[in-house]
Structure 1
């Protein structure tokens, strides 16, 4: 049943997000103009304004700050604590558990990249991996990556996100990925499978890397998975999840441009509303 629902998620999400609802308002308003002129124009204009606002960077930042409310970036004392953990950690070949794991969540993949002729990471995944590797170099902690094939790409061929990331991390950055989870199809799957894997290896803390807009939902899922995993193994500790968000949306240099339609604004608003919808439905 969960698999069947998951297959419909991309379609239902698309129908619920801009511009579809506002296009529907425009059609309804146009239909109402003849029998109820005033109401028809009001509904039509609501649709037009909605489309405009749903493409503005200012709207994306407002939704991020007011509704998504991601935790702050990993800086200052929080980052210093991880650096200290890394300095105290022992070498992996000793067999001892790592004091913490930096875990990057996948954000999509290209089944076949036109440039490389093989599977590749999406821009979101690539940026998350780059930040995760920056944290690895800064702290000395080992790296993990969680990402399989999303619901919308189940029918496509190609490697999982995690396998692609392992290849990119090693060949492009010279950094090996110690934990690879490539079976999940969504954030809940990321959480359940990653927590189970790291719990088996007695890793006490996860430093979770994903985009700021995605972090509240990812953090919720990972913390819930950590508690469930601890319940399955009486006496074991609940894995601590430390958020390391990146890719925060910011205002344009000039305030006027915040309210001009843009590609980045359109993408940001859709992503923000998707997270708000997921939070409302607890999906």
Structure 2
């Protein structure tokens, strides 16, 4: 098997990110604090308790909402905005390698949330669709799975399939090649609301005019959820992970320009 530097760097970034974002990040802080208790008891206690508090903050709806608010500040796309677009671009979000009920690999729920909304916009506008996602794991590029779902399950044709990307920056750069070759300069970009700031910045850096079409907000609350703002739960834990992942990604991209 040939050596692929881009794939190695991709997995290095994944490992570093996993050590920062919850649940592993706060646990490592706690573990470091416990390891220092004998030699540096004050520092050890501070780290252990700090890690515990950090973990609680990242699974509590009220505090997670504060992290998400600056990320999810893009409103839904309007029909007037959509009418200005020349194509719809859907950014991949991952897949499930073990999906025996589908006979192999399939898309994860994040990717399906994006595709569902892209299908709605495509039917509403009649715009051509580009799907973007490579194959850092498994053998099937994510974009192939995205195309199959859109065409077979949602009945929406896909014009361009970008299969080489490994991250958001790649999504933008490689998609721009397909689109600009077809004379497309203005796109409706479909991704999660929390991912939109980072995704939009990358697609604009690749030379495209972006009309944001965010979906799947993780923050916000309904009137009947007020009592649960300070009760940690599985949904808020997931939202906390996503929020930290996006903030870390934005920071990493800022220093890697």
SS at 2:189 equivalent = strand
Structure 2 counterparts to residues 79-98 of structure 1, below 5 A = 79-83=79-83
State the match for 1:147 in structure 2.
133
Larger Rg: 1
**Within the alignment, does 1:208 sit opposite 2:178 as a pair?**
no
**Within the alignment, does 1:174 sit opposite 2:179 as a pair?**
no
- Please state how far the C-alpha of 1:114 moved relative to its aligned partner: 2.5
Farther off after superposition, 256-265 or 211-220: 256-265
Give, in whole Å, the separation in 1 of the partners of 2:133 and 2:216: 18
Q: How many matched pairs?
A: 248
Residues 64 and 236, structure 2, Cα contact 8 Å, conserved in 1: yes
Residues 17 and 273, structure 1, Cα contact 8 Å, conserved in 2: yes
Residues 30 and 44, structure 1, Cα contact 8 Å, conserved in 2: yes
State the match for 2:179 in structure 1.
198
Deviations 1:156-203 (A, max 9, x none): 23x211111111111111111111111211111111111111101101
Alignment partner for residue 273 of structure 1, among 234, 241, 244? 244
SS at 1:115 equivalent = helix
Alignment partner for residue 105 of structure 1, among 69, 84, 91? 91
Any gaps of 5 or more consecutive residues in structure 1? 86-98, 227-238
Alignment partner for residue 23 of structure 2, among 19, 26, 29? 19
Instruction: List structure 1 runs of 4+ shifted beyond 6 angstroms.
Output: none
Residues 56 and 258, structure 1, Cα contact 8 Å, conserved in 2: yes
Residues 19 and 51, structure 1, Cα contact 8 Å, conserved in 2: yes
Any gaps of 5 or more consecutive residues in structure 2? none
Structure 2 counterparts to residues 27-106 of structure 1, below 5 A = 27-31=31-35, 33=37, 40-66=44-70, 68-75=71-78, 79-83=79-83, 100-106=86-92
Give, in whole Å, the separation in 2 of the partners of 1:32 and 1:173: 55
Give, in whole Å, the separation in 1 of the partners of 2:145 and 2:241: 26
Give, in whole Å, the separation in 1 of the partners of 2:67 and 2:82: 30
State the match for 1:219 in structure 2.
200
**TM, length-normalised to structure 2:** 0.87
- Please state how far the C-alpha of 1:3 moved relative to its aligned partner: 4.1
Alignment partner for residue 128 of structure 1, among 106, 114, 131? 114
Deviations 1:213-247 (A, max 9, x none): 11111111111111xxxxxxxxxxxx321111111
Give, in whole Å, the separation in 2 of the partners of 1:254 and 1:128: 25
Alignment partner for residue 215 of structure 2, among 223, 227, 246? 246
State the match for 1:261 in structure 2.
232
